[in-house]
Structure 1
Amino acid sequence: AHIKPNSFEKMRVNLAFQLFTTDVLRGLLVFQTAIEEQHGDSTATAHFVELIRDLIAAMSSRTPTRSLKRSSEQLQCLQAVLNYLNAWEIHAQGRGFLSKSTSEGLRVTLTSTQELLEYLTEKVGYTFLMTSRLSQDCVERLFGIIRQFSGSNEHPGPSQFLIIASALQFYSLARSPKKGNTPPAVVSALLSCPPAPKEKECLAKLVDKAIDNGDLETAEEVLDHLPYVAQKSDARLLFYMAGYAARKTILKSSCSECKTSCLVAADAAPEGLSSATRAFDRGGLLYPSRRLFDLISTLEDSVTACLSTQCLHPDTMTDILARIGQSNVPPIGCSQHASALTKGVAHFYCITRLYFFVKSINRSREQRSKRKNLRKSASLQ
């Protein structure tokens, strides 16, 4: 849908917003080597994505701090896009350029926004302009719903338009099934969830035993030993996650020696491992020491070994902790706080890692369910 949208998906602004984001720039940076081996230099693509990302931010500001002002970065971004369009059109020479309607529409939008800001600041006395007020996406979305409300009808009459607009005021998306009684799943979803089993004490003991390294020798092995792990995490992303874990756990410590041993200055960080963190840094990221990075790498290897060799189940966290207990976990911090600090970082990282893993699974399930419903709707038409 993002790369090859159909006729309906081309009108969805949110798909374009998702394509031109900082996450895409991070992906181009992380996978730069693999991309350039297959498709050549990616610098121009990254520059274009960054330019459109800044344009979207400038044209959708909702707060005074990010609004359009005279001599602001947002206003300079609009002029930069206009200059980019002119240079692109001259270089393309009629080939590989935007369509005439798209290029002219974009130029009119940017130029009119500049002139509107100039008029409001000079004639009316405004100090800024929140450009989100200029958007007509809500109107287009409403018209799109009305056109598709009674089937594929691109030209509803005035009476039909008024009837549909009135119906939308009390229309609800939570509808009961068209045929048959309500299935048990719908009814059970409205009931309160049963209380979760109280396993916090057991998991806490497993964390302690895992970090102490040696208390789980007689424990029954849960996972099947495979000759290799199906997946491996990128070291640059692990370095970034180590800094995130340090912010959430180590910064809360009052021991200066622990902070010094776990964090380093930006210029002292390894060049290869910290390349992604340097690209994402806007002045607030932390750079972990080698000892902290080794701890996160050990934890990630154990987590990846579990999640890539078996399906998710209620005892996945127990399996992860059991595998960590079989690893040589390097302690961090000073001699006085090493045990508590290492356990705290391990506890935070395992929970955070599993949370994002479950979130990705739920997102995939929602996408599959949505595609299934769309295919079913298309077959009924």
Structure 2
Amino acid sequence: MSVRLAASLFSKRNAIAICEYRNLPAKNYQEERIKDKFQGSEHTEYLTNLLNDVIDIMNARFCKEGITVLNWLPKKKKLEEMLVVLKRTEMIYLQSDNREKMFASTTTIRGWKTSIQSTIAITEELFSENYGFVLTGKFNQDALERLFGIVRSVDSHPTVTSFLQIMRYVSLLARLNTIVKGSSIDSSEQIVVLATISKCLKHKAKQSDIAAADLKKYMEDILLKELTSRYVDSLPEREKVDYINDIAIYDVCGYMLKARPSVTVCLDCKPSVQCDELELPPDFNFDYFTGLRTRGNLIFVTVNMFQTFRVVESIIESHFNPIGQ
């Protein structure tokens, strides 16, 4: 359940509805059945009201909703009351033999306890520093989640490159909105600003496409030249061996085969890329991390495949290292 739906479910409106249905004066058999279903719902009504109050307290975003010294004590009492409910719920769950499901998961309850305790501590610390009011809604990560939501609305599975492009677009859009709506400029100036930025973006995009195509062709030539001569069983001695990097490459190779089962469909090709752990050379130790993690489901790759991707990694690393330096 999303936060929005949870806040809608545990609302004052639903608590009132539970109370009304429970105290409904039954006039016929159908209303009597509805009333019977809500008998004993006092605790549900109490929890719904409490959750509604706590959500409101911890999501104050405006001055009139904020916590002040005058209204802090009753709001703090509500938060402490919620802490008691959460602790009691978790204690009953841990002590019960059948472990019946709680209204929330253990992780959610512990996270909620931490958030409430942090809110109380931070609020009292701010009041001790003579702050006039506290907006608890600024404590949460809604702003970050909203930003990621905007990014996913443009691309549901963004890559590193597309994420950066979307971030630039969002940042640019925010500045344009400020320029257009928050400043005293006329329509002609707005058009000049938008047209100039549009030309810059198109020019940059064209340059990026050309550079990407050149880089792809260059990398293909280097990789093809190196791989045609290095797909071998033996591992040549290297001047500098990065053991952590090599075991990570070996593990990633196994993941690639696991994620792409079509690669091993051909029975003639499969032995060249996949093997059993015992088929690896005795002095080969780059499968150590994969061996630690496996419970029988991870894939071990051949020395040939590992050597191939180690060469690919070294070529790409040597190309981009000067840029990083």
TM (norm. structure 1) is 0.38
Higher relative CO (CA 8 A, sep ≥ 6), structure 1 or 2? 1
Higher helix content, 1 or 2: 2
Q: Which protein has the larger Cα radius of gyration, Structure 1 or Structure 2?
A: 2
TM (norm. structure 2) is 0.43
